[in-house]
């Protein structure tokens, strides 16, 4: 084929094209269409690879990217097509060299835009010989959309950090190299939930964004990769296996994340951070194991106190297994009502010394471990969804036992935050009352401070319904949570139980004594009974009496003890420590 410009495709191409042996097809009118068809067609001489023809659409396509094309538009015909195929001329050359090749795609960038050529070799055109055909197509917007979608699928929307899947993929890729040494930090914010609950989600989001920026700034200098894997949980991949160096960086992260956050013009908030570290290959050689173990180390750091940094150790995994075993055993105990007891501790009127009520406290004797404290199994029940069944069991037994008390004292039953606002509490309470025949005003529900914030309307509605039915409601552990006074506005409690930590400190510390006095005073004004919890000594009793508390509960008056009918069984199980 010559260098002559093909002014019209049909002028130069055979008038008849006979595909196979079949009857002739008159081609000319079809070929003339090529000049004016909207697709951008270019032909190339397969021998010299010179461009022989561009149709009108093809000229327009290259005019749009003219600045990025190394040859003037008018000089394109006659120019080797390689000039346009900066990226893969060999592939195109190969395609055009041999007969019978299937069309293939080749993408080329021209400045900001990307054109894709569908390239194939046309054989069997009589009088013309083989012809290289390139059908160009602008794919820039497709690529842009795909990139955006890809970025979205890999990015955390709030912070722009890698999301969990993308981070895991990156980690897998890094760990695929044998003997690769890396450290993984698992960073968890302490106290974020409170900020979210008290100030709302918008403020919470702003804080997370700022925390992410601080984390990225700190990690960038260490050539690290950062991801967000939970609401307030981040992971940092460090390209080295030196755990001392990783711990030093973790400490810097804790310090930076712990500085105050400015949220809007007026607001400031503080959160802390706990960091767990796992090292590859020592603690795992696949992403899943390494992330899980860094997370376990993070939990251990949190248990050790806010702002701690911990390196993974085998005992941490053992602890997790232990917790799973405990959950399995607790489920069995609840299902079979086996080994679970309700103990009762007296609540006493400080002036008359009479027992006004008893608090029902769950106790569990596990066959292998012996007595397990509620401080251990109640959180397990809450996290595993068992608290609903456990709560019903305690309510039912407490009401039954109290119905038999000759003195007519009240029974106080603890209600977990997880039992509130789910639409199940009212039914559980009413059925326990009707099964036992206990008068509603002899039942008191103890709700802990953190259960009601943020003020959840469903929870308040349930408690309001029960209170109108005559059941009393107490605010438990007052003073240990955040924004205690907000609770008193959220619901008209019948009783406030001042946490034992204030009572114990009240003897030595003037500020704790002042808190006890202020709460007692508040109780008087609101006509709410105040109870001092955890009174163990005469000194403490004298102090809370002089500060104005109405009732007391504590070892000084009596430890939690089993009901009369359980006493024999419990004694047979060994010391329970109350």
Number of residues in contact with ligand C2E under rule CB under 6 A: 24
What are 22's two structure tokens?
């079949």
Distance between CA atoms of residues 389 and 18, nearest Å: 83
Contact assessment for residue 111 and residue 97, using Cβ atoms and an 8 Å cutoff = no
What are 46's two structure tokens?
């397969």
At which residue do the structure tokens 């009732």 appear?
Answer: 551
Fill in the DSSP letter of residue 158.
Answer: T
Residue 139's contacts (CB-CB under 8 Å, 6 or more residues apart) are 107, 114, 115, 116
Partner whose binding site includes residue 555, from ligand C2E, Mg ion, none (CB under 5 to 8 Å by kind): ligand C2E
374 binds ligand C2E (CB under 6 A): yes
446 binds Mg ion (CB under 5 A): yes
Distance between CA atoms of residues 528 and 516, nearest Å: 14
Residue 188's contacts (CB-CB under 8 Å, 6 or more residues apart) are 230, 232, 233, 234, 273, 274, 275, 298, 302
Given the rule CB under 6 A, which of 24-32, 122-130, 324-332, 373-381 is the region that contacts ligand C2E?
373-381
Which of 249, 394, 420, 452 touches ligand C2E by CB under 6 A?
394
Helix H, strand E, coil C: the string for 500-544 is HHHHHHHCCCHHHHHHHHHHHHHHHHHCCEEEECCCCCHHHHHHH
Which CB sits closer to ligand C2E, 50 or 476? Answer: 476
Partner whose binding site includes residue 373, from ligand C2E, Mg ion, none (CB under 5 to 8 Å by kind): ligand C2E
476 binds Mg ion (CB under 5 A): yes
Partner whose binding site includes residue 562, from Mg ion, ligand C2E, none (CB under 5 to 8 Å by kind): none
Indicate the length of the chain as a whole number. 578
Distance between CA atoms of residues 572 and 576, nearest Å: 10
Pattern 346-365, ligand C2E, x by CB under 6 A: ---------------xx---
Query: C-beta of 543: minimal distance to Mg ion in Å?
Result: 18
Given the rule CB under 6 A, which of 133-141, 217-225, 314-322, 368-376 is the region that contacts ligand C2E?
368-376
Which of 298, 356, 414, 484 touches Mg ion by CB under 5 A?
414
Distance between CA atoms of residues 298 and 309, nearest Å: 7
196 binds Mg ion (CB under 5 A): no
Given the rule CB under 5 A, which of 81-89, 252-260, 479-487, 530-538 is the region that contacts Mg ion?
530-538
Of 211, 239, 229, whose CA–CA distance to 298 is shortest?
229
| Helices vs. strands in the chain: H and E counts, helices first | 20, 24
536 binds ligand C2E (CB under 6 A): yes
Which of 188, 232, 449, 477 touches ligand C2E by CB under 6 A?
477
554 binds ligand C2E (CB under 6 A): yes
Q: Map residue 97 onto helix, strand or coil.
A: helix
Pattern 515-534, ligand C2E, x by CB under 6 A: ------------------xx
Partner whose binding site includes residue 28, from ligand C2E, Mg ion, none (CB under 5 to 8 Å by kind): none
Which CB sits closer to ligand C2E, 348 or 535? Answer: 535
Task: Give me the residues that bind Mg ion (CB under 5 A), please.
Answer: 414, 446, 476-477, 533
Return residues touching ligand C2E (CB under 6 A). Answer: 345, 361-362, 373-375, 378, 391, 394, 414, 416, 446, 476-477, 500, 533-536, 553-555, 560, 578
């Amino acid at each position: 084929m010559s260098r002559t410009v093909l002014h019209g495709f049909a002028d130069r191409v055979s008038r008849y094209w006979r595909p196979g042996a079949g009857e002739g097809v008159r081609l000319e009118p079809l070929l003339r269409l090529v000049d004016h068809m909207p697709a951008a067609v270019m032909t190339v001489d397969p021998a010299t690879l010179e461009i022989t023809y561009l149709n009108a659409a093809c000229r327009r396509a290259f005019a749009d990217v003219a600045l990025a094309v190394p040859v003037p538009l008018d000089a394109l015909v006659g120019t080797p097509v390689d000039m346009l195929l900066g990226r893969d001329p060999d592939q195109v050359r190969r395609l055009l060299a041999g007969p019978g090749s299937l069309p293939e795609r080749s993408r080329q960038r021209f400045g900001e835009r990307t054109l894709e050529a569908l390239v194939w070799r046309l054989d069997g055109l009589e009088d013309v010989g083989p012809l290289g055909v390139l059908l160009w197509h602008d794919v820039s917007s497709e690529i842009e959309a795909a990139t955006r979608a890809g970025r979205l699928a890999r990015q955390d929307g709030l912070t722009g950090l890698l999301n969990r899947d993308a981070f895991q993929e990156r980690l897998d890729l890094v760990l695929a190299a044998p003997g690769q040494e890396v450290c993984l930090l698992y960073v968890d914010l302490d106290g974020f939930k409170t900020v979210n609950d008290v100030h709302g989600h918008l403020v919470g989001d702003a804080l997370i964004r700022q925390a992410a920026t601080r984390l990225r700034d700190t990690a960038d200098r260490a050539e690290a990769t950062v991801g967000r894997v939970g609401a307030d949980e981040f992971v940092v991949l460090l390209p080295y296996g030196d755990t001392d160096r990783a711990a030093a960086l973790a400490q810097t992260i804790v310090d930076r994340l712990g500085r105050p956050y400015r949220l809007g013009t007026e607001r400031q908030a503080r959160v802390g951070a706990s960091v767990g570290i796992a090292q590859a290959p020592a603690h795992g050689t696949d992403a899943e194991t390494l992330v899980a173990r860094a997370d376990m180390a993070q939990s251990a750091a949190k248990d050790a106190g806010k702002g701690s940094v911990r390196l993974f150790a085998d005992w941490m995994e053992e602890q997790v297994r232990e917790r799973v075993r405990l959950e399995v055993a607790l489920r069995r105990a609840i299902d079979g009502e086996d080994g679970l007891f309700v103990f009762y501790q007296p609540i006493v009127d400080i002036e008359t010394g009479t027992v006004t009520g008893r608090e029902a406290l769950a106790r569990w004797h596990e066959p292998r471990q012996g007595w397990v404290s509620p401080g251990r199994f109640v959180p397990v029940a809450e996290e595993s969804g068992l608290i609903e069944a456990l709560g019903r069991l305690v309510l039912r037994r407490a009401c039954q036992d109290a119905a038999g008390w000759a003195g007519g004292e009240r029974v106080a039953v603890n209600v977990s935050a997880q039992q509130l606002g789910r639409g199940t509490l009212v039914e559980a309470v009413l059925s326990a009352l009707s099964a036992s025949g206990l008068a509603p005003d002899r039942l008191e529900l103890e709700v802990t401070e953190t259960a009601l914030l943020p003020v959840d309307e469903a929870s308040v509605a349930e408690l309001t319904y029960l209170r109108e039915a005559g059941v009393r409601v107490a605010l438990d552990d007052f003073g240990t949570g955040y924004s205690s006074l907000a609770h008193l506005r959220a619901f008209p409690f019948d009783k406030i139980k001042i946490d034992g930590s204030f009572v114990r400190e009240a003897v030595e510390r003037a500020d704790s004594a002042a808190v006890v006095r202020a709460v007692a005073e508040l109780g008087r004004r609101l006509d709410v009974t105040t109870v001092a919890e955890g009174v163990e000594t005469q000194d403490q009793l004298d102090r809370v009496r002089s500060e104005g508390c109405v009732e007391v509960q504590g070892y000084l008056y009596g430890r939690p003890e089993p009901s009369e009918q359980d006493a024999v069984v419990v004694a047979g199980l060994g010391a329970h420590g109350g």
